[in-house]
């Protein structure tokens, strides 16, 4: 699976990233592309990078 494919779902809740307001960004520690949905961003739900284990808000 490529980095782009991994970011097609929210890293926090697993929903497909198709709605307006989602974001894709590189992991601050290893650069793996991560994606988060609008709801998880607004609620500050935690996420964990599958590449290095970095955890963020």
Reduced 3-state DSSP string for 9-46: ECCCCCCECCCCCCEEEECCCCCCEEEECHHHHHHCCC
Residue 55 covered by a domain: no
Residue 18 covered by a domain: yes
Residue 41 covered by a domain: yes
> What is the pTM (predicted TM-score) of this model?
0.79
Residues 28, 11: Cα–Cα separation, whole Å: 14
pLDDT at 5: 46
Domain count for the chain: 1
Residues 2, 8: Cα–Cα separation, whole Å: 11
Q: Which residue has the higher pLDDT, 53 or 3?
A: 53
Residue 26 covered by a domain: yes
pLDDT at 26: 97
Residue 7 covered by a domain: yes
Range of the structural domain that residue 38 is part of: 3-46
Q: In this predicted model, what pLDDT tens digit does every residue of 6-55 receive, in sequence order?
A: 459 999 999 999 888 999 999 999 999 999 999 999 999 999 999 999 99
pLDDT at 7: 57
């Amino acid at each position: 699976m490529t980095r782009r494919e991994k970011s097609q779902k929210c890293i926090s809740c697993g929903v497909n990233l198709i709605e307006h307001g989602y974001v894709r960004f590189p992991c601050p520690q290893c650069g793996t592309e991560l994606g988060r949905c609008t709801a998880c961003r607004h609620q500050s739900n935690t996420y964990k990078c599958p590449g290095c284990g970095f955890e963020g808000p």
